[in-house]
Amino acid sequence: MGVKVKERSGAWWLFINHKGRRKAKKVGDKKAAELAAVQIRARLALGDSILLQNRPGAPTFKEAADRWLATHAQLEQIRETTHKEYARALRTYAYPKFGSKPVTEVTRPEIRGLLVDLMAQGKSRSLARNLLAPIRQTFNGLIDGILTANPGARMGRYLKEQTDRRAKAEFLRPEEEAALLQTARAHYARYYGLILCALRTGLRIGELFGLQWDDLDLENRFIEVRRTLRDGKKVYSPKNKKIRRVDMSRQLASELKRLRADRTKETLAEGWGKLPDWVFCSAVGNPLWLSNFERRVFHPLLKKAGLRRIRFHALRHTFASRLLQNGESLVYVKEQMGHSSIQVTVDIYGHLIPGANKAAVDRLDATERNPRATTNETGAPERPASH
């Protein structure tokens, strides 16, 4: 089996040789050709030889979508849970509508109608997004080969949230944060460091569970977020697939040093052989599971501290709100939180910048009558000097 990328007469080509069958395919530029070569190798490894079959006509949408899912799962470009969600959405909603149609006959109005119908039925936007994403990506993979345009492109406006994103952000007040930490230290000491780390770094719960000791620089006080952990065993890249560096407060650095010393003693006492890789682990040194942690630790902790029932994610929102209320910039908050863009940070937290709007409108008072006017120490406008 071989897939080679070559330039011929100013154009880039793929030359496929698989089980005695050969095919040449012209592909856009070098970057697109190299990406296509990786995908084709994965598809051929899965036994998909449709590219080498000289049958007439285009594949059906179901064939193309199944192939896209299999290829990207093989390349680990989508997570296992995402793969299952995409496959379920396609099987339930898209395939009954146009799964048997050739991809060249699926129209933009059909896709739009499918999304509009879902919204009219009261289905969640997350479901609609999990349906649109594989539809759009399936057609993207056919551009410059079978199709010249993607009928699933630019459909996002049908899935926009109708509610303000700020309404979903829960925060702890300073006194509530203090109560949570005090109760954790007194009654859930094993997890005090985890709660403190959430409140001082804003890491997502999967990122906290995925922290390993090699990710921490306790002397220079920073954390490198390299992975996220799910279900106690599934390791993925961080949400935006980028390693980021997060600053560590003095209090947190001191607590994590203490935790490492305690964990070393525990390792010897329990006969584990070596220090567990995970910074935050169970009583037997294993990775943490979210459902178990919430049921046995976090929810009872909230109750014992006399706090309302909140999601663990509220600790992340609390971290961001504290930074902004202390005068830190949106850019710094964006970097610490690992947001994909500054717009996400602004949408959720921009209203928390203290006094910014009042200062802006106060400056207008001095220019109400004269654009060049300034104010003197009494607050009254000064007259421009005569010349």
Question: How many helices (H) and strands (E) are present in the chain, helices listed first?
Answer: 16, 8
Quick check: 15 pLDDT over 90?
no
Mean pLDDT highest for which of 147-161, 284-298, 363-377?
284-298
CA dist 115 and 98 (Å) reads 13
pLDDT tens track for 245-288: 999 999 999 999 999 999 999 999 999 999 999 999 999 999 99
CA dihedral (277, 280, 286, 288) in degrees, to 10, reads -130
What pLDDT is attached to residue 183? 98
CB distance 176 to 306 below 8 Å? no
What pLDDT is attached to residue 55? 44
Determine what percent of the chain is predicted with pLDDT higher than 90: 50
Query: What distance, in Å, lies between the first and last C-alpha atoms of the chain?
Result: 87
CB distance 212 to 277 below 8 Å? yes
286-293, long-range: CB within 8 Å, 24+ apart, which pairs?
286/232, 287/209, 287/229, 287/232, 287/233, 288/209, 288/229, 288/232, 289/231, 289/232, 290/205, 290/206, 290/209, 290/230, 290/231, 293/191
Buried b (16+ CB within 10 A) or exposed e, 56-91: eebbbbbbbbbbbbbbbbeeeebeeebbebbbebbe
Coil, strand, or helix at residue 213?
Answer: helix
CA dist 387 and 385 (Å) reads 7
What pLDDT is attached to residue 48? 61
Mean pLDDT along residues 325-343 = 90
Quick check: 378 pLDDT over 70?
no
Quick check: 82 pLDDT over 70?
yes
pLDDT tens track for 152-168: 888 877 666 555 555 56
Quote the mean pLDDT of the chain.
84
CA dist 316 and 326 (Å) reads 16
CB distance 152 to 139 below 8 Å? yes
What pLDDT is attached to residue 174? 93
Cα separations (Å) of 290 from 271, 301, 372?
26, 15, 60
Please give the domain boundaries of the chain with CATH numbers for all domains: 57-159 (1.10.150.130), 170-351 (1.10.443.10)
What pLDDT is attached to residue 354? 66
